[in-house]
């Protein structure tokens, strides 16, 4: 049974199945493999949730990499909204996004839609695995939609950039900005770096790995558990003063979703994140705890 007419953070596989039967929701498959960028598109073409469109992280949810950007720059808003319109989105539908990495990729589109001002968007809790485990239907048909118009502007207050981070570091304790790095502790302290050429973190950042958002089944923890987890961050900072980061600004959105699901206001994202920060050798870096 559907327990809410609008889903703004998470949705269960059972409730998504009920929405599909009612019709009118837009579903987007965001599966992606950083080590093989075409693998998940191929898997989507073989099998996906009925009616789901596919969003490729590099093509729809990011812009091309430039010499001074991170690995997944923010997408061009006009191109993003045009693609959404091509999926039949007009700004009024319930959107559901999913992946097979427990929300780490799908949360990027969730966050982008929030930044565009669309509230009715949710991540499938437990992702593709939860859908399969429930025994719900899959197919390989590609969805079709009629031409439609959709335009929106991105709320610049949702993001922080490298210039703002440098200014905050120079201001020291007088700056209210607090970075929260969601990468694994191993990457944060610089003990290992499997993706980027330089290991470590931005000085002053706090490490809260995104994996802590999940339970043993790979679903998000309860709002009450997430409230307890994130409450210490809000003792000295408002949610807007928090800027979540990761390696490239994608998986940081996973923890933004966790905070919103806990009932807190939406924090910001350092969109360039570590892979952009290290592009400039004059920016300070730290290792260790």
Residues belonging to the active site:
246
Q: Alpha-carbon distance 151 to 194, whole Å?
A: 38
User: Quick check: 19 and 96 in contact, CB under 8 A?
Assistant: yes
Nearest Cα neighbor of 186 from 211, 165, 214 is: 211
Nearest Cα neighbor of 257 from 72, 20, 7 is: 7
Nearest Cα neighbor of 26 from 113, 117, 88, 82 is: 88
How many other C-beta atoms lie within 10 A of the C-beta of residue 266?
18
User: Quick check: 245 and 182 in contact, CB under 8 A?
Assistant: yes
DSSP-derived pairing of the beta strands 121-124 and 95-98: parallel
Q: Alpha-carbon distance 81 to 150, whole Å?
A: 6
Q: Alpha-carbon distance 146 to 181, whole Å?
A: 41
Q: Alpha-carbon distance 244 to 242, whole Å?
A: 6
């Amino acid at each position: 049974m559907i327990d809410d007419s609008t889903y703004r953070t998470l949705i269960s596989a059972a409730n998504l199945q009920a929405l599909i039967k009612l019709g009118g929701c837009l579903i987007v498959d965001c599966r992606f493999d950083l080590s093989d960028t075409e693998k998940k598109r191929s898997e989507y073409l073989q099998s996906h949730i009925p009616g789901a469109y596919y969003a490729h992280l590099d093509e729809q949810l990011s812009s091309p990499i430039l010499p001074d950007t991170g690995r997944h720059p923010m997408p061009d808003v006009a191109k993003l909204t045009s693609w959404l319109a091509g999926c039949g989105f007009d700004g009024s539908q319930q959107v559901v996004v999913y992946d097979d990495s427990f929300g780490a990729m799908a949360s990027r589109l969730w966050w982008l839609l929030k930044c565009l001002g669309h509230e009715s968007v949710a991540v499938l809790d437990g992702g593709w695995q939860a859908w399969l485990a429930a025994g719900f239907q899959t197919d390989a048909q590609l969805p079709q939609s009629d031409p439609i118009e959709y335009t929106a502007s991105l709320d610049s207050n949702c993001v922080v950039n490298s210039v703002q981070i440098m200014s905050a570091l120079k201001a020291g304790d007088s700056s209210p900005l607090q970075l929260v790095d969601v990468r694994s502790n191993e990457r944060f302290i610089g003990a290992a770096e499997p993706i980027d050429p330089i290991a470590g973190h931005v000085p002053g950042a706090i490490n809260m790995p995104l994996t802590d958002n999940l339970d043993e089944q790979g679903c998000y923890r309860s709002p009450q558990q997430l409230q307890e987890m994130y409450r210490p961050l809000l003792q000295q900072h408002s949610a807007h003063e928090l800027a979540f980061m990761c390696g490239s600004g994608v998986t940081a959105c996973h923890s933004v979703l966790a905070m919103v699901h806990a009932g807190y206001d939406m924090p910001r994202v350092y969109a360039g994140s570590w892979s952009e920060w290290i592009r400039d050798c004059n920016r300070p870096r730290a290792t260790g705890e």
